A and B are shown apart, each in its own frame.
Chain A
Amino acid sequence: MVNWIWLFFIVVSVIAAAANGQIDAVTQAAFDGAKSGVTVSFGLISIMVFWLGMMRIADDAGLLKKLARLLSPVVRLLFPDVPKNHPALGYIMSNLSANLFGLGNAATPMGIKAMQELQKLNPDPQTATPAMCTLLALNTSSITLIPTTLIAIRMNYGSANPTEIVGTTLAATIIATGAAIAADRWYRRRSKSAPPPSINKRKRKIDKTHAVQHPAADSLSAASPGGGTIA
């Protein structure tokens, strides 16, 4: 996907430049772009170094764990089908609290560990469970407390107030996460009310034929029993 986007930009640029008589400008732009890429990356060093230092202090002081514990009622509510005290819940909490602090590098391994634990509860290892979809939804919209990268870029280009976007970002990210949770709930309920998966949960083998006989059911939820029987 990324390959295609990149190729699209470059190919369309050269064609458009030829049509507009801007070939020289495009050459210049290519080199300027490379230069900006390096400038922006270097500008990120200061904030990244500072912020990751602060976060190590927070981590060593047990603050991330504490935050994770605070999140536990929310997590239990969002993942009703994960048994209490299951290790997956701990990883989910760590993942969410790392995201909250903008620690993408720490959040990803925790998220993957959480997924691995959720996979152990999965009857069909090739199809995502509702809990996995919820965890993914929370990560794609991830609530960010401090958008460190953006603050650094704004500083680089001489903003009078680089942190003025913290409030707007927080508001937008909360709305996006709310939308993700709402959409996730809606799909969850819909896949539960469709006949095959709900019955399928307990009486998988008995319902094998039943599930196959209902191709009219939503293809997304019907995919679960179908794939399960083949595997």
Chain B
Amino acid sequence: MLELFTRASSWLIPAIIVFIPLYAAFRKVPVYETFVEGAKDGFGTAINIIPHLVGMMVAISMFRASGAMDMMLGAVQPLFDWLHVPSEILPLGILRPLTGAGSLAFTADLIQTHGPDSMIGRIASTIQGSTDTTLYVLTVYFGAIGIRKSRYALKVGLFSDLVGFIAAIMICLYIFG
């Protein structure tokens, strides 16, 4: 099971990378030109994130350096220690459904501070990658068509975020523990 898991992780990407151009070549798509054409969008996408990420990383960096983060985490530390879960993860769980840039900045901060291959770094990567920003999705999708009463949609989104958060921690502790 564990073996299979790490195998799948390392094989999935090369498999996709070779399958897509090969399949496209069979369909007579000019693969290289198409690649370059699509790749141009990537630059803009990455550059557009800069203001969001700078804003959020300044705030989070200040929050950590001021000692406010430790004060906040100190309160939940015993509970998390008892569960054998690093308490540094908690703010990410709170930020994830609320702000995409904020949680991305927090994840980057955790990876920077603790290292990408630490347990915290791995759990943070998994949490950040596994769900989307519920509040943002709700605002954009329902806002676009003028829905005012979202009924139970927010509850469902937050519930799945919570489940994803717990699942990410448990899976990482099991696989990398």
Residues of A at under 8 Å CB distance from B?
Answer: 1-2, 5-6, 9-10, 12-17, 19-20, 22, 25-26, 28-30, 32-34, 36-38, 40-42, 44-45, 47-63, 104-105, 108, 111-112, 115-116, 118-119, 125-128, 132-133, 135-137, 139-142, 144-147, 149-150, 153-154, 157-173, 175-177, 179-180, 183-184, 187, 191, 220-221, 223-224, 227
For B148, list chain A residues within 8 Å (CB): 126-127
Asked if A34 contacts B58 (CB within 8 A), the reply is yes
Neighbour of A154 across the interface among B35, B104, B125, CB < 8 A: B125
Q: A62-B27, A165-B125 are in contact. Are A128 and B102 (CB under 8 A)?
A: no
- Structural contact, A220 and B151, CB atoms closer than 8 A: yes
> Known contacts being A13-B59, A54-B35, A136-B138, is A146 close to B172, with CB within 8 Å?
no
Kindly list chain A residues whose C-beta atoms are within 8 Å of the C-beta of B171.
168, 171-172
Q: A57, B112: Cβ atoms under 8 Å?
A: no
Q: Nearest B residue to A159 by beta-carbon distance? A: B116
Closest to B36 in A: A53
Known A-B contacts A149-B104, A167-B6; A25 and B66 likewise in contact (beta carbons under 8 Å): yes
Residues of chain B within 8 A (CB-CB) of A45 are 42-43, 46-47
Contact status B56-A37, CB under 8 Å: yes
Q: Is the CB of A61 within 8 A of B24?
A: yes
Q: Would you call A105 and B45 a contact (CB within 8 A)?
A: yes
In the A-B complex, list the 3 residue pairs whose CB atoms are closest, starting with the nearest.
A56-B38, A33-B61, A176-B164
Question: Taking the nearest CB of chain B, how far is it from the CB of A6, in angstroms?
Answer: 5
